[in-house]
Amino acid sequence: MTMAALSRSPSEIARETLKQLALRRLSPTPDHYLALYDEIAGVPSTPAFPSTPLRAILRVLPAQTPAQKRLLTALDKAVEEQSWAQMQSTLVGYANLGLAPVVTADQELAQAAPTRLPERLAENLARLVDNTLPALGEDDARLHEMAQQLCELLRTHDPLPADVERLLADFSHRVSFTAQDQAAIRSTLLALLRLVFENIAALCIDDAWLYGQAQSLLEASQPPLQLRRLDGVAQRLKDVIHKQTEAREHTVRAQAQMRELLASFIERLARMDESSSSYHQQLEQCAERISQAQRLEDIAPLLEEVIGATRAMALSTRVALGELQDLRSHADARHAEIDQLRQELDRASNLARHDPLTGSLNRKGFDEALEREVARALRQDRPLCVALLDLDDFKAINDRLGHAVGDQALVHLAQVARDALRPHDQLARYGGEEFVILLPDTELDEAAQIMRRLQRALTTRFFLQQGERVLITFSAGVAQVRGDADVSDAVRRADQGMYLAKRSGKNRVVAA
Q: Sign of the C-alpha dihedral, residues 64, 68, 73, 76?
A: negative
Sequence-ordered list of residues with C-beta below 8 angstroms from that of 66, at least 6 positions apart, any chain: none
Please report which helix (H) or strand (E) contains residue 304, including its range: helix 296-351
Q: What Å distances lie between residue 175 and 22, 150, 167, 179, 396, CA to CA? A: 94, 13, 12, 6, 64
State whether residue 18 is helix, strand or coil. Answer: helix
For residues 396 and 367, give the distance between their C-alpha atoms in angstroms, rounded to a whole number. 30
For residues 512 and 387, give the distance between their C-alpha atoms in angstroms, rounded to a whole number. 10
Amino acid symbol at 392: D
Q: Outline where 204-295 has alpha helix (H).
A: 208-220, 227-292
For residues 122 and 124, give the distance between their C-alpha atoms in angstroms, rounded to a whole number. 5
For residues 165 and 155, give the distance between their C-alpha atoms in angstroms, rounded to a whole number. 14
State whether residue 248 is helix, strand or coil. Answer: helix
State the virtual CA torsion across 267, 269, 270, 276 in degrees, nearest 10.
150
Please report which helix (H) or strand (E) contains residue 437, including its range: strand 434-440
Q: Are 497 and 478 in contact (CB under 8 A)?
A: yes
For residues 372 and 353, give the distance between their C-alpha atoms in angstroms, rounded to a whole number. 14
Sequence-ordered list of residues with C-beta below 8 angstroms from that of 67, at least 6 positions apart, any chain: 97
Positions marked catalytic:
433
Q: Angle 208-220/227-292 helices, nearest 10 degrees? A: 160
